[in-house]
Chains A and B, each alone.
Chain A
Amino acid sequence: SAVISQKPSRDICQRGTSLTIQCQVDSQVTMMFWYRQQPGQSLTLIATANQGSEATYESGFVIDKFPISRPNLTFSTLTVSNMSPEDSSIYLCSVEDQGMNTEAFFGQGTRLTVV
């Protein structure tokens, strides 16, 4: 099973600033997924990140607000830009290390509070 390290584990940020979240996987994976979990809610997919190509964003999420980098097969970053209190959520990265539609593994999440 893949082991995913996510940094930071939590942060408190001022509105209008940006935060970059890092996701490191212990094996090479084709796709990495970024999810958001708003307080009291379930997970919603933000985007899918493939190495060497632009990330694919879900409806309601845009690249200017959530730019994603995927420089290699084991690493990705998600930036939350120009933050507002509504961005306070847990952000999680996920991979399926055996290929598509196999078991999904998640990082421990980044708990973001915007004040």
Chain B
Amino acid sequence: KQEVTQIPAALSVPEGENLVLNCSFTDSAIYNLQWFRQDPGKGLTSLLLIQSSQREQTSGRLNASLDKSSGRSTLYIAASQPGDSATYLCAAPTDSWGKLQFGAGTQVVVTP
């Protein structure tokens, strides 16, 4: 069974600093890995999806990498802004049907 871990649980950075968020998974036979953002009390917004065949994916200030051999994915957010304050979750499918196993999330605070 796929297990997903996110460390640290919380992170605070000053505005303008780059953010580095980590996600670990146990099964290297991964279909894909997806990063989400969640604002308090709200649903999830998809940020990036990295397929198994990809090493990284980029969208604007966001860049996510995938290293299957080490069981890690990293989400980089460049030049952080207070609006980036949220909880960031990574998730990987547990089977071929698309059921997702989520990490516990990293709560990010960007201070002005």
Alpha-carbon gap, A100 to B32, bound state (A): 11
Which residues of chain B come closer than 8 Å to A103, judged between CB atoms?
A: 34, 46, 49
With known contacts A42-B89, A104-B34, A111-B41, A96–B46 Cβ distance under 8 A = no
Residues of B within 8 A of A (CB): 31-32, 34, 36, 41-46, 49, 89, 91, 93, 96-100, 102-105
Which residues of chain A come closer than 8 Å to B99, judged between CB atoms?
A: 33, 45, 48, 58
Which residues of chain A come closer than 8 Å to B93, judged between CB atoms?
A: 101
With known contacts A43-B89, A90-B41, A108-B42, A96–B98 Cβ distance under 8 A = yes
What are 27 residue pairs bridging A and B, where the CB atoms are less than 8 Å apart in the complex?
A: A6-B43, A31-B97, A33-B98, A33-B100, A41-B104, A42-B102, A42-B103, A43-B44, A43-B89, A43-B91, A44-B102, A45-B100, A90-B43, A92-B44, A100-B98, A101-B31, A101-B32, A101-B96, A101-B98, A102-B98, A104-B34, A104-B46, A104-B98, A104-B100, A106-B43, A108-B43, A109-B42
Most buried by B among A45, A101, A105: A101
Count A interface residues, CB 8 Å.
26
Of residues 30 through 70 on chain A, the ones whose CB sits less than 8 Å from some CB of chain B are: 31, 33, 41-45, 48, 58
Alpha-carbon gap, A107 to B38, bound state (A): 11
With known contacts A101-B32, A101-B96, A104-B91, A92–B43 Cβ distance under 8 A = yes
Which residues of chain B come closer than 8 Å to A111, judged between CB atoms?
A: 41
Write the A74-109 contact mask toward B (1 if CB under 8 angstroms, else 0): 000000000000000010101010001111111111
